[in-house]
Amino acid sequence: MLGRMDLPPVEVSEPDGFVVVVEPGDRIHFLDWGGPPVDVGAPPSGVLLIHGLSQTAWAWVPVARRLRAAVHVVAMDLRGHGLSDAPTDDGAYALDVLARDAVAVAEGSGLLRSPADRVVLAGHGFGGIVAAAAAVELAERCAGLVLVDGGWESIEANTGLDVDEFLRGLDEPPEVMRSMAAFLADRTGFDAPSWDTDQERAARATVVETHAGRVVPATRPHTLEASVRTMFDYDPLTVLPRAGAGGRIVALVSGVEGDGVGAGGRSGALATVAAARVAAGETPIENVRFPYDGHNLMRYRPVEVSAAILRVTRPAATA
């Protein structure tokens, strides 16, 4: 179990926005918060943050602001989300493509300045799946992996749903989407004490306001469906035992013990994949549990999420 640790004070800062171009010309947007000065010749200490389904890089603001005093912090928009391009070609949202996007952002942002550099990846939900696949792609250049409530389980096995049922469950009630005010009120209601200007900006980035005053999801339907199908195709037992080339993995788990319909629920899924990783000769998966919190741990537990990432990142900075 990981406990809390001393964190730098939260700095009020705005990130810079950039794009990196990947084959065959798709633009992947990312936010760069910068970081502390790096000694000449020293390996950089950097973190790439990857958001979840239908979210954007702005979801990571509460964490990024806490990390930037200690490490170089970059958060990307997955393709089809935020300000990244939303290609319509077949296979554009396959997991290996998404993983290569993440690698391209790590390289283009300067987190990986040379073949000897290493980076820590942190992903939330669907972003955890992408982060795990990117860790395999990076091999020795991945110093560690933080899975924030996702990336260790089979979605179909642990929800009992098929792809189409899952997609239907993502539809928002019409009354929530009737106006921006109604939408923001709904998001505030998830946990009013944690609602602030950063949460409002993150929420606004996920929708588009129409001329009639209604809001519609910013993530296009073809992107959402293709991304969900990629989620359902993901097999953690074939990915996580190969992720990180010996780097440290931490899983942050929300919800009650045994939550889910599979054998042992989500906790059982995590234990199974952790055992498979040890059997493959890799480091075990550490875990931190938040039984009374919802899925968006960056909103509800930013201090604890930041602490977990720093515990993985700081050893990389002194390797």
CA dist 164 → 9, 95, 161, 226, 311 (Å): 44, 19, 8, 11, 39
pLDDT score recorded for residue 44: 54
CATH 3.40.50.1820 matches 16-158+223-317? yes
CA-to-CA distance for 210 and 33, rounded, in angstroms? 31
The domain spans of the chain are: 16-158+223-317
Per-residue pLDDT tens listing for the chain (319 residues)? 334 444 555 555 799 999 999 999 999 999 999 988 765 445 556 999 999 999 999 999 999 999 999 999 999 999 999 999 999 999 999 999 999 999 999 999 999 988 888 999 999 999 999 999 999 999 999 999 999 999 999 999 989 999 999 999 999 999 999 999 999 999 999 999 999 999 999 999 999 999 999 999 999 999 999 999 999 999 999 999 999 666 789 999 998 665 766 656 888 899 999 999 999 988 899 999 999 999 999 999 999 999 999 999 875 444 3
pLDDT score recorded for residue 34: 93
pLDDT score recorded for residue 106: 97
- Residue the block writes with tokens 């074939």: 238
